[in-house]
Amino acid sequence: MALLDASGVVAGYGQTEVLHGVSVAVEEGEIVTIIGPNGCGKSTLMKAIVGLVGVWQGHVRFQGEAISGSPAEAIVRRGLCYVPQTSNVFPSLSIRENLEVGAFVRRDDIRGRMADMLDLFPDLGFRPERKAGSLSGGQRQMLAIARALMLNPSLLMLDEPSAGLSPVMMDNVLDRLREINRRGVALLMVEQNAREALQMSQRGYVLVAGENRLEGNGRELLNDPEISSLYLGG
Ligand SMILES: Nc1ncnc2c1ncn2[C@@H]1O[C@H](COP(=O)(O)OP(=O)(O)OP(=O)(O)O)[C@@H](O)[C@H]1O
Ligand SMILES: [Mg+2]
């Protein structure tokens, strides 16, 4: 049984259908990357999976149970967390406060988890009382990831985690994601930096115009001539 199984997902906004029956799956412990041109529906797919956009047809199952239509809070409680593409931290709150907010559905003691996160991301642990608004783009992205991890998910979904970062910061963020995966968290990410993302992925999907175009293991996709000319700069 796949950890996440989204099948034939049709979704959109208002009268406009954006996804015309998209399917993706993630196995326990896997890293899976979705690539595709701007506007093809990558973010919409992520939002449909986590319940922020309605699923008109098709289904989304997590750990074998249907989650389409469940409230977002119920979905995160089951262990599926999501880091959106933008506005993913509260700038006026400190690092520590952002992590506390991230743990909002937990009723138990979060201090151990907080310490683990500050340890996993030394840039954050260095001065946890700093306001998130004073962090660099890369540090903010790390905070957004740490915040999602406060809920101890089994699947972390990330929408363009390395977008807009310097090459060094991008490597830094992707390195942290590899470490998180080594600790047993499956990752489903959307990435523009397709080469780096596919290199660290077991499998990848290519979406075009709201439909599945190609899928395969990370290396196969990296070596596919169509993919290299379209997404990897030749
Ligand atoms: N809130 C919204 N209301 C109406 N249309 C939207 C909304 N968000 C996205 N769209 C439209 O849905 C389509 C898919 O957008 P989406 O953001 O899912 O693409 P994407 O693949 O994530 O693109 P990008 O690579 O630029 O992030 C686009 O045509 C976009 O204009
Ligand atoms: Mg997007």
pLDDT tens digits for range 148-189? 999 999 999 999 999 889 999 999 999 999 999 999 999 999
pLDDT tens across 6-48, in order?
999 999 999 999 999 999 999 999 999 999 999 999 999 999 9
CATH classification of the domain holding 68: 3.40.50.300
Supply the pLDDT for residue 232. Answer: 66
Q: Considering its fold, how many domains does the chain have in total?
A: 1
The answer to whether residue 14 sits within a structural domain is yes
Closest atom of ligand 1 to 210 CA is 14
What per-residue confidence (pLDDT) applies to 225?
A: 83
Is 35 part of any domain? Answer: yes
Residue 114 Cβ inside 6 Å of ligand 1? The answer reads: no
- Cα(162) to ligand 2 centroid in Å equals 12
Task: Among the bound ligands, name the one nearest to the CA of residue 207.
Answer: 1
Least confident of 92-101, 113-122, 217-226: 217-226
Residue 147 domain flag: no
pLDDT tens-place string over residues 64-90: 999 988 888 889 889 999 999 887 899
**Euclidean distance between CA atoms 27 and 188, whole angstroms:** 10
Amino acid, res. 41: G
In a domain, 10, yes or no: yes
Residue nearest to atom 25 of ligand 1 (CA): 38
Supply the pLDDT for residue 108: 81
The residue range of the domain holding 170 is 4-86+156-231
pLDDT tens by residue, 84-100: 988 789 999 999 999 99
Q: Which of 89-98, 107-116, 206-215 has the lowest mean pLDDT?
A: 107-116
Query: What was the pLDDT predicted at 234?
Result: 52
Please indicate, yes or no, if residue 120 is contained in any of the structural domains: no
Q: Which residues pair with 60 in a beta bridge?
A: 6
Q: How far is it, in rounded angstroms, from Cα 119 to Cα 233?
A: 36
What spacing in Å lies between the alpha carbon of 94 and ligand 1's midpoint? Answer: 31
Q: Is 69 helix (H, G, I), strand (E, B) or coil?
A: coil
Tell me whether residue 121 is in a domain: no
**Is residue 56 domain-resident?**
yes
Q: Is residue 217 part of a domain?
A: yes
Chain-centroid distance of CA 123 in Å reads 21
Closest atom, ligand 1, to C-alpha of 12: 12
130: which residues sit within 8 A by CB, 6+ positions away?
Answer: 94, 95
